[in-house]
Amino acid sequence: MEEEEYEGIRAQFPLSFGKKSKAPTSLESIHNTTRRTLDSSSSSLDPKQQLPSLSSSSKAWLNDLRNPNPRRPNPKPNPNSIHEGEALDLRITDSNNGNVGLEHEKPPRNRVLIGSNDPDLGGSENLDSEEDGDDGLMIGPPRPPPDSVDSDGDDGVMIGPPRPHLDSVDSDSDSDGDSDVELENSYRIPLGNEILLKGHTKVVSALAIDPSGSRVLSGSYDYTVRMYDFQGMNSRLASFRQLEPSEGHQVRSLSWSPTADRFLCVTGSAQAKIYDRDGLTLGEFIKGDMYIRDLKNTKGHISGLTCGQWHPKEKETILTSSEDGSLRIWDVNDFKSQKQVIKPKLARPGRVPITTCVWNHDGKCIAGGVGDGSIQVWNLKPGWGSRPDVHVEKAHEDDITGLKFSTDGQILLSRSTDGTLKVWDLRQMKKVLQVFEELPNNYAQTNVSLSPDEQLIFTGTSVEREGTTGGLLCFYDRKKLELVSKVGISPTCSVVRCAWHPKLNQVFATVGDKKQGGTHILYDPSLSERGALVCVARAPRKKSIDDFEPKPVVHNPHALPLFRDQPSRKRQREKALKDPLKSHKPELPMTGPGFGGRVGSTKGSLLTQYLLKQGGMIKETWMDEDPREAILKYADVAAKDPKYIAPAYAETQPEPVFAKSDSEEEEK
- Residues 188-214 have pLDDT tens digits of 889 889 999 999 999 999 999 999 999
Is the CA virtual torsion 622, 623, 625, 626 positive or negative?
positive
Q: What count of other Cβ atoms lies within 10 Å of the Cβ of residue 643?
A: 8
pLDDT, residue 416, reads 94
Alpha-helical runs (H) found in 551-653? 569-578, 607-615, 627-632, 635-640
Q: Is the pLDDT of residue 628 over 70?
A: yes
CB atoms within 10 A of CB 113: 21
Contacts of 257 (CB under 8 A, 6+ apart): 263, 264, 310, 315
List 647's β-bridge partners, or say none. none
pLDDT band of 625, cuts 50, 70, 90: confident
Q: Which residues pair with 488 in a beta bridge?
A: 472
Rounded to the nearest angstrom, the gap between the alpha carbon of residue 31 and the centroid of all alpha carbons in its chain is 24
Residue predicted with more confidence, 452 or 181? 452
* CA triple 342-348-352, angle to 5 deg: 50
Question: What is the phi-psi region of residue 373: left when phi exceeds 0, alpha when psi lies from -120 to 50, beta otherwise?
Answer: left
How do residues 107-162 score in pLDDT, each as one tens digit?
A: 444 433 333 444 444 444 443 433 444 444 555 556 655 544 444 444 445 554 55
* pLDDT confidence tier of residue 642, bands split at 50, 70 and 90: confident
Q: What are phi and psi of 416, to 5 degrees?
A: -140, 165
Banded pLDDT at 41 (limits 50, 70, 90)? very low
Residues of the chain with CATH 2.130.10.10: 193-539
- Going by pLDDT thresholds of 50, 70 and 90, the confidence category of residue 622 is low
Q: How confident is the model at residue 171 (pLDDT cuts 50, 70, 90)?
A: very low
Neighbouring C-alpha atoms within 13 Å toward the C-beta of 3: 0
Taking only the tens place, the pLDDT of each residue in 507-533 is: 999 999 999 999 999 999 888 888 888
Give pLDDT, residue 91: 41
Is the confidence at residue 590, as pLDDT, over 80? no
Q: What's at 522, amino acid-wise?
A: L
| pLDDT value, residue 582 | 87
Beta bridge partners of 377: 367, 390
Assess contact for 473 and 495: CB atoms under 8 A: yes
72: pLDDT confidence band, cut at 50, 70 and 90?
Answer: very low
pLDDT value for 392: 92
Q: How many CA atoms lie within 13 A of 186 on its CB side?
A: 17
42-46, 279-283, 302-306, 631-635: the lowest-pLDDT one: 42-46
CATH superfamily placement of domain 193-539: YVTN repeat-like/Quinoprotein amine dehydrogenase (2.130.10.10)
SS3 state of residue 198: strand
> Has this prediction a pTM greater than 0.75?
no
Q: Are the beta carbons of 269 and 305 closer than 8 angstroms?
A: yes
- DSSP β-bridge partners for residue 224: none
Is the distance from CB of 340 to CB of 330 less than 8 angstroms?
A: no
pLDDT at 145: 54
| Most confident of the following: 83-97, 153-167, 384-398 | 384-398
